[in-house]
Amino acid sequence: MAEVVIVPDRETAGEIAADLVASLIRSRPDAVLGLATGSTPLPVYTALRRRLAGTDVSRVRGFALDEYVGIDLAHPESYRSVITREVVEPLGLTPSLVQVPDGSLEGAGSAGERYEAAIAAAGGVDLQLLGIGSNGHIGFNEPGSSLASRTRMKTLAEQTRRDNARFFPSIDDVPVWCITQGIGTILEARHLVLLAFGESKAAAVAGAVEGPVTASLPGSAIQLHPRTTVLVDEAAASRLRYAEYYRWAFRNKPA
Ligand code: F6R
């Protein structure tokens, strides 16, 4: 079962996740991080700036979860741009060691295989940061995605395009296709850290943590992983049936 930690706000979640990432990097300077984009992981990256100040991060490697297909790489909302702006530059990572799937129209068809090979060559992901969509997606594995899926092209759900329209001038500007690590790929990371904030994520979080494991709610695949940490604020936790138990377990966590 996932360790569920209910925190007062996203900043606290960011601090806890940043502690996990920073202690990994201290014990393994060439750690492989799985990097999420979107709004959810931003407090983690902010907290990491302080945590990693003075730490040599030049050998840290990273793999983004996903990328839009057909977006100009220089577009501020391409995930390549977001990862550069929010992660690589502020944390001082070595740009060539941080990869994002190839979302170019020419490359996307074969990008999945190449990405899988690159992750395998790096020895796999040590710690994967995850957000969750309001429809339960992880990465861009929309409802119905195979629990065994690998990195590949997908079509975004209309719900996801509506949710992400806030990053673009209008919904018509949100790409239709993406390339995403598969659920099978994500499950091979050695530690999953899923974060979710706000009421709009409450149903997805409850389904992911406590619902049946089903392709209809891709986040529920975390139940198949032996080491998952779920960091949620009160609003995102509001539909968890066993919330009191999670609080109790966290208060009584052995040192
Ligand atoms: C982002 C990703 C998505 C987001 C999810 C939540 O790389 O793979 O699964 O984590 O769509 O997005 P936000 O965090 O913007 O609510």
Ligand 1 midpoint to CA 196 (Å): 9
Q: Are strands 98-99 and 127-130 parallel, antiparallel or unpaired?
A: unpaired
Tens-place pLDDT, residues 153-201 = 999 999 999 999 999 999 999 999 999 999 999 999 999 999 999 999 9
Side chain identity at 198, as an amino acid letter?
Answer: G
User: Mean pLDDT in the chain?
Assistant: 97
Of 49, 184, 78, the closest CA to residue 125 belongs to 184
pLDDT tens for residues 222-241?
999 999 999 999 999 999 99
Per-residue model confidence (pLDDT) at position 85: 98
pLDDT on residue 255: 84
8 A C-beta contact, residue 145 and residue 215: yes
Taking CA atoms only, the protein residue closest to ligand 1 atom 12 is: 38
- Is a pLDDT exceeding 90 seen at residue 1? no
What percent of the chain stands above pLDDT 70? Answer: 100
pLDDT tens digits, one per residue of 116-157: 999 999 999 999 999 999 999 999 999 999 999 999 999 999
Q: Choose which residue among 68, 71, 137 to substitute to test ligand 1 binding: the one with the highest number of ligand atoms within 8 A of its C-beta.
A: 137
- β-strand partners of 192: 128, 228
For position 53, what pLDDT does the model report? 93
Average pLDDT over residues 206-233: 98
